[in-house]
Amino acid sequence: MATLTVFKFGTPDGAAQALGSLEEMQKQQLLTILDAAIVTWPVGKKKPKTRQMFSTAAAGALSGAF
């Protein structure tokens, strides 16, 4: 069973700050993050910008190496 959680922040750096807090909680073993992404839509741009917490290309390369 999968859980999808979406948050909306009122400031441009709110998501990055929240992700930093979540990563710290994961280091303390308070929660487990399987994947995360930050999506921003800068003013004047035609499409949003996405930043993934874990690189899917790196994961694919690692599994392919084995």
Side-chain-side CA neighbours of 8 within 13 Å: the count stands at 1
Residue 1 lies in a domain: no
What is the β-pairing status of strands 49-52 and 37-40?
Answer: antiparallel
Residue 51 lies in a domain: yes
Whole-prediction pTM = 0.64
- What range defines the domain where residue 36 resides? 14-65
- Please give the tally of structural domains in the chain: 1
pLDDT tens digits, residue range 7-64?
999 988 899 899 899 999 999 999 988 889 999 888 899 999 998 887 665 555 555 5
Residues with Cβ within 8 Å of residue 36, at least 6 apart in sequence: 19, 22, 52, 53, 54
Residue 53 lies in a domain: yes
Residue 3 lies in a domain: no
Residue 6 lies in a domain: no
